[in-house]
Every structure is written in structure tokens, then in C-alpha cells.
Structure 1
């Protein structure tokens, strides 16, 4: 095709507007058109398949064939170009969506994914969301390869993979008839591996239909941002769980990073919030919020590029358009100076100023273009710039924790020589006063870990007296109270007498630890064929009853199915609240699905607490028979509400652990999970707590105490002070 975009080269059909200005891209970036493979074969080009299809650029197209970009024209792209709106101050109240200025799909972030969704045809299997959006039955999306080194997620997230399988309606796991349960040797064990069928697209559709009204809003809020992040990480963990079952199986390959794949699915379905680019604060995102993946920043509208460190947009200025910086990510990949909590020296993008500074590489100067030019224009324009700081994740040596540190202004810029010898643009940003502390909190915690004596209001450096792996501080910087009433610290639940099981049970024989996909493991069988935890110890989703390995199992203490055992894995602090007595919070950032602690104390029968004869019994007890809304599940998994096999009451009045200090909240950030450990013929039931979403350091940890049956409504009500928009005004 000599004139791929010439006026005479496009056959006329329908109401195609030849006068429109298209977002043109080189032919070398187009995707080849091949026929869909036969669904009855596991090969990509089955024997006897149809030959290569040659279709006109504008169609019509045979079954399974999609049009080349740019010949695909969506109804959305036929609309006039959106104009930038300006406020009287000259700073725009941006209504420009993430992505290109003339977006192919509003659900695609800038500098991330390039292929537009093909139109739905009667010959394609499509999923339809509310509002008439359609998605292709199968699509491969790849990260854009940028021509120059970028301030990107590759070095910041600790990953280098760039290929993502969007897989809109493709099933993750074993396609029907393709893989059979087969015996393999993995980790020194002979195991039977069975990959289950899981329709990931159906899960995403459930999220979309459940929260359509909330997620379709132009401006988000705390509720919509929370929904997006929690559902995204639940899906990411689910994909990780399935992908980990493929490890070590010949002929079965993993389909890519779970964070990118889950993010691509969400973006393609439009499951996001704050889709319009804007200068300044982002509705629903608070200073100090944390993120563990760059994709999360994009989904909530905080920072659009999933690879670039500088986000910017074009703004009309007099007769021409100029770029203005919206946000930056600084995480140590470049020569930034980021130790000061209120000031940041930020290096520009491009050149070879990043981590890839080999001695044999040609020295390149940075250019005053793209993000660098946007920062320079923002210096003269004086607009606010959002700053996200990437901090090393102590639980993942190659990962980062991204902290939103608030709004900054650029005060000056200059050119300096980088370590590679090339010229590097430098920008000094100063934090605006009056904002909540964020990065400075992390700096303070670093000092406390070195010497706890610097902690203001410290009463005890370790109230556990060495009973836990990590010390638990006792702090009161509110009033003069010297601590809670005396109790004995015990790290786990104690049964005064055994509770016999109705059916005998036996533990597993996994000598090296339980492995994903092992259908021979009875502990995995009881969990529905899955290991309930990911490789890094995150609970995939809340379950009605979780089965962990126990004393009857031969697996070692570090088995992946013993996460809730062995005590605390994060640094916690008991502190005095302003109006709710003593509370609990963490020094460490907590990931969604992470184990916090179990509820320790004495296991009692149904009438046990009533016999204690102490008014404080209700304040330090846990009733596993109460009902509460499931929090750690994706929409549609309504059957995963906690269901204990027998009435369990726990008293922590005289003996307990840190869990006794967790306060109630009607919109909690923690949920509880009943866990049954294999212990011969005895019922070894425990209650463990996990994070609903990501929790920043020094944030109070709370859970929903639950509702009691109507016949027990005579119990004393307590006024709720949680302050949630969903507050029930009282709890028991």
C-alpha cells in the first residue's frame, strides 16, 4: 500500500468522514491480521487452518479478523476535539482524559498501551458493559517501547518485563480439554497438578456491574477510589494464585505479570476513577496514601503513565499550547536528592542519566522536551505538581512502596553534569505548607527503629516482654494515662479443653511444604484446590473457612499454608486515641491481604463470657458468631462470609495479645478470617486478621465488630465514634 493514508486509498463505506484529522502512526507499528485459530486445537496455527486472510483496510472483515489501526473509527473518536478549559487564574480545570489528546479509547493510559479495541461484529464474541461499551474477545496489549531512556517503572518496581496479555474474555487457567491432571515432580515432591478453569473476564464483569454508577463518575471520591484499589488488588492476587500453579509444569507458561494484566483488564473495561487529567489534588486520594504498583496510580487518576516518571498535559496559552507538569514519581532510579521531607531535587528524563549507565555507552545529554519542557513551563507558570515518592519495600527487595507526598511547587531549575557525563536537567521542588505529613512520617519511623527512645510519649518499648518476634511499643502522647489495665500477654489462642471433630481428619504429607496445584494435598483439597496464599504470603480472598496446615501435617514451619502461625510479621504499636481509648496501628506499610495478627485469648463456650463476672469482659472479647459484611472478596463471591464450624467466643480480659486493642469501625481497613488448623482429631479453630486494602504507616487498624442476632439485641449498645460515612451510630 503506497498511500496508506491518502485520500483515494480508503474505500468509501458507511459514513466515514475523510476530512477528519487522525492520530496517524507508522505502518511498522501496526498489528498483523491473522485468522482466529481453531478452538479444538492447542496449536496457534492448526493443521488445515484457513490461509492468511487479505482484507480491505476498511472492511468488510471475515469472522475473527479485526481492522488495522487507523482504519478502525469508533463512535467516540468521531466527536470534535475537546477544548481545554481555563480558570480565571489561567490554570485549567482540566477535563482532558488520560491518554492521547484525541483518545482512541478513554480507558487507555498515556505511554502504556497502544492498540485500540476493534469494533464488535456479529462474528465476534463480545462482553458488553453498561453504557454500550464493547470489548474484543481476545486481544494482546504490549507496553509501548519509548525511543529514549525514561524515568520508568522498570527500575522503580523492580521488574523488567514489558509484554502484557490483555485477555479480555480469555480464561486464565486450563482451557477445557487442553490440560489434564498429570503427575509432575516439583520441589522434590511427586505431585498431581490440576489447573482449574477460571473465567477472569466474568470476575471483571462482576466488578463493573456492581460498581458501575460509582466508577463512571468523572470525579471520584474516597469510596470510589477505595473500590477500585481493593477490587484491583483482589483480581491481581487471584491471577497470581492461578499463575503460580503453572510453575514447573512442562508445556504450560505463565501469561505475564499479574499487576499489569489485572490493570489492563480494568482499563479496557473502564473500571477506574478520576479519568480526567487535572492539576492539583485528585478527589478521593489523600496525602500519605500508599500504592504498591504503578498501575494503581493510573487507575485512581494520580499519575497516568505506567512507565514514565513525569505526567503532563497540553494547556492553551494565548495562541499556542504548552505542556504543564501534573505529577512526578521519584523513587531512586535517577540522581534525585529525596532525603529532605519538604524539598526534592528532581532529575529530568531522557539521556542516559538513569540506572543504565554502562561505561561503554555513548554519553547523551537530556533534551528540553516532553516532560522536561513541562517541568520548565510549570516553573514559570507556578502551578502545583503532585509528588509521589517511591520507597524501598522492606518485604520485597526488588519492589517499591509509592507514597503520595502531596503538592509541591517548582522553585528553580538548572543543568548539571550527571554521573554518565551527560547534561541533566535539575528541578528543585518545595512542598506546600499546611498539608498532612507523609514522607516525614516514614523518616521518623526510621529513627524509631534505630533508637526507640526518641519516640514521643513512649511508655514501654515492648509490652509483649519478648513474646513476639517484633517488639510492640506502648505510646501515649494524648494525656497522662500510663497504660491499659494489667493483662498477661500471650501470642496465640488457648483452649482449656479440646473440642472434638465430628469427622476424623488427617494432615498432609508435604515434606517440603505445600505447593500450588498439588491435588494430592488434603489441605489444598479442603481449600477448593488452591493454596489460599500467594507466594509472598498474601491471602487471595476472604473465605467462609480457611484450612491451614497444623500439628498433624509433616510440612515445615515455613510452609506457605501456615501464614497465620509464628506470631507478628510487622511492627505494631498500641497507642492512646483521643476519644476511643487504646488503639492499634503499624509502623510498617501493610499490603492488601497481608496477615496482621490473630485474636489471642481463652477459647470459651457459648455461655463462657457471661460467667466471667467482670464488666470489662465485653471490652476485651471476640464473638465469632456475629455477622458482618464480607470485605476481602470480589463482587459475586457472596458465599465467602465467615462460617465457623462451632460457636467460638474468645476472652482476652486477663490474657491476650495486640488484637484486643483493635477498635470497631463501620468502614474498617481490616477483616477477620476463621482458620481451622489440622490437629489430629481436635478442632483447632483460630481467628486471624488481614488487611482489606493497602494501609499506610501510623494508620489506626480497625475491624467491624459485627451484628448480633435479634434475640440477643438486649445487650448493651455502645456509641460509635468511627466517623465513617457508613456509620451505624452504635455497636455492641
Structure 2
């Protein structure tokens, strides 16, 4: 797994964000401007607390000998959602009012690298551009058409334990941008699995994605080698070249209405919340937040709450 400080690329006057660590260059716009420096990593890494290592292999591999695994023979495919022609099956997602996890074939599987159940682990394949927006700071847009169901990018960063995530969010000032995401997966047996990812210091292009109340991306936890998921973002509809990419920070989009625990703030607390500039018809005026986890309202993390069956 590579990591590099972002740097200016050479050629055609175009800045390149990933330092060559992605298979496809991540462009920057406009020329001469760049976000504050951070360490670019195409995949999530273990946090400074060392509590979780997303690269550890704990899942057994499948024994499929075919070039591409198929259900129901492959145990990886039987665990959750699956792909079709290297895209997420959106028709099934639309029929179900909840998100489902994905289990990809892993490094111990006997199937080949061309298996259709290996998608997110292949990393970025689309041409994206990090650009300066008018009111939202930096954002991300597609430089090519993106068909519905396509994997766009991972939300990668440091994978933290609860204590370190809480310490970091409470140490932030209201003026600082917050990148920490808290993903809660509500399992059918009542258990809740939590994943905390912080791309503030180490992260990828996903850290620049903005919130929208009517987003064109949705997040799905994708597991490859262990129970630590990759937070993968897929296209919710066909996306045009030049269109800004966004997702719902609260996790309500394409999910069960009861799965989200967004705190309903008192009127006087609205002054502490960050305004939403998504411009959608259903804009809630403020960015989503959840005060149940951290005690600093203005610096509350993005909180994804997903319900699985």
C-alpha cells in the first residue's frame, strides 16, 4: 500500500494530487491553487492509536477455481450484496429500504484477479478532479461520464478506535474542517458495528467530497480481507462529465428512515451548526450532525447509520 505527500505533477500544466500513488491521476483545479498539504494514501491505514489494522487478513479465502466467482457456490458472494458487470446491483438496492454490505473475494481466495467480485480493492479507475468551489471550499467532480452503480472512490483515511476518534473530534475548533466519519452498521440481531475513519492527516480524494441533500453517490461498507470495511462510494444515477460528486453525510440516502439518529437541534443551537450550500430543492439549510457521540456540536463528525438485514 503506497502513500505519498501530494505534489504538483508535470505535464500540460496540470497539478496531480495523488503523487502517482493512484492508477489514474487525480487532477487539481484551478492552476496555482491547492488544498493544505496532507499525506495521500489510496487506501485506509491503521490510525496512530494502533487499535485497528485495515490491512490485516482475517477472512478465509474461497476455493473457487473459476476465473470469476458466481453465487451461490462462492461463500464470499453469499455473505451480502454482489456486483453485476463490475457495478453494484442498483435495482436490488432500490427495492430494499436499507443498505447491504459487500464481501469481496480476498488475497486468500483461489479465484483470479479478474474475478468480478474484486472491484473496490482495485482502487480508483475514474478520472476525477479536485476543484475550488464557490462556497463549499474544495470539491470533487467527474472528468468522464459515470454510469449508475459504478464504483467511484473510497473514503480512505486513518482507521481509529472510539477513544482516539472522540479525542480528535473534541480537540477540533469550530473553525476547522472536519473529515472524521463515524459509520454505524445496525445488524439484524441488534448489534451495532462502528467504524471511525479520519482522512485529515492521511487520506485520499474522497476527503474532498461535499455533502448534498440530494446526492449522486451513496456509501456502502465493502469488506475484503477483514471485518474492517472499506467505505466505498458508488454512483446512485448516471453522472455527467463535469458534474460535482456528493453524498449524504448522514447516511439517510438509500437507507432505512429509522436507521439515522440525527440529533434534532434546538433553535438556539442552529447558530453552532455549519450551513449547507448544496443548492438542492430539499436542502435542509444545515449540514447533518449527531451530538450523541461527541460533545462538541460545531465539530460533530459525519455520521453514517446503516441498517442491514
Q: What TM-score, normalized by structure 1, do the two folds share?
A: 0.32
After superposition, give the CA deviation of every residue in 1:579-601 in whole Å (9 maximum; x if it has no partner): 11000011110000000011110
Q: Residues 573-624 of structure 1, C-alpha deviation per residue, up to 9 Å, x if partnerless? A: 0000011100001111000000001111001122323323344775222221
What is the distance in 2 between the residues matched to 1:668 and 1:470? 24
Offset, 1:550: 1.8
Cα deviation digits, residues 429-451 of structure 1 (max 9, x gap): xxxxxxxxxxxxxxxxxxxxxx9
Compute the displacement of 1:703 (Å): 0.4
Matched, 1:485 2:28: no
Structure 2 CA distance, aligned partners of 1:650 and 1:571?
24
CA distance in 1, matches of 2:53, 2:159: 10
Report what 1:624 is aligned to: 183
Q: Counterpart in 1 of 2:244?
A: 700
Of the three residues 639, 658, 663, the one matched with 2:210 is 663
Counterparts of 2:285 and 2:117, CA distance in 1: 38
Alignment partner of 1:522 out of 70, 75, 84? 75
The partner residue of 1:566 within 119, 122, 126 is 122
Higher RCO structure (Cα 8 Å, ≥6 apart):
2
| Deviation at residue 657 of structure 1 after TM alignment | 0.3
Question: Which of 147, 153, 168 is the equivalent residue of 1:591?
Answer: 147
Counterpart check, 1:539 vs 2:88: yes
1:473 aligns with: 27
- For 1:693 and 1:490, the matched residues in 2 are separated by 27
Cα 1:659–1:611, aligned 2, differ >3 Å: closer, same or farther? same
Structure 2 CA distance for aligned equivalents of residues 532 and 582 of structure 1: 32
For structure 1, which segment, 539-548 or 575-584, has the greater mean C-alpha deviation from structure 2 after superposition?
A: 539-548
**What 5-or-longer segments of structure 1 have no aligned partner?**
1-450, 628-638
How far does residue 515 in structure 1 lie from its aligned partner after superposition?
2.8
Aligned pair partner of 1:646 in 186, 193, 197 = 193
- The 2-side partners of 1:658 and 1:721 are apart by 20
**CA pair 698-712 structure 1, distance change in 2 beyond 3 A:** same
1:672 aligns with 2:219: yes
- Structure label with greater radius of gyration: 1
Q: Structure 2 length normalisation: TM-score?
A: 0.72
- 1:493 and 1:603 in contact (8 A); partners too: yes
- 2:230 maps to 686
Matched residue SS, 1:695: coil
Name the CA distance, whole Å, in 2 between partners of 1:698 and 1:497. Answer: 39
Q: How does 1:169-180 map to 2 (within 5 A)?
A: none
Deviation string for 1:221-242 (max 9, x for gaps)? xxxxxxxxxxxxxxxxxxxxxx
Q: How far does the alpha carbon of each residue in 1:324-368 deviate from its partner, in whole angstroms, 9 at most, with x for none? A: xxxxxxxxxxxxxxxxxxxxxxxxxxxxxxxxxxxxxxxxxxxxx
Secondary structure in 1 aligned to 2:206?
helix
Q: CA RMSD in A?
A: 3.1
Supply the distance in 2 between the matched residues of 1:590 and 1:711 (Cα, whole angstroms).
35
Q: How many residues align?
A: 250
Q: How far off is 1:452 after superposition?
A: 6.1
Change (3 A) 1:653 1:599: same
Q: Deviations 1:191-247 (Å, cap 9, x if unpaired)?
A: xxxxxxxxxxxxxxxxxxxxxxxxxxxxxxxxxxxxxxxxxxxxxxxxxxxxxxxxx
C-alpha spacing 1:582/1:493, structure 2 compared with 1 (3 Å): same
Instruction: Say if 1:545 and 1:644, in contact at 8 Å, map to a contact too.
Output: no
Q: Tell me the CA shift for residue 511 of structure 1.
A: 3.1
Gap change, CA 1:490 and 1:497, over 3 Å in 2: same
Partner of 2:296: none
Within 1, Cα distance between the matches of 2:262 and 2:41? 30
Change (3 A) 1:711 1:667: closer
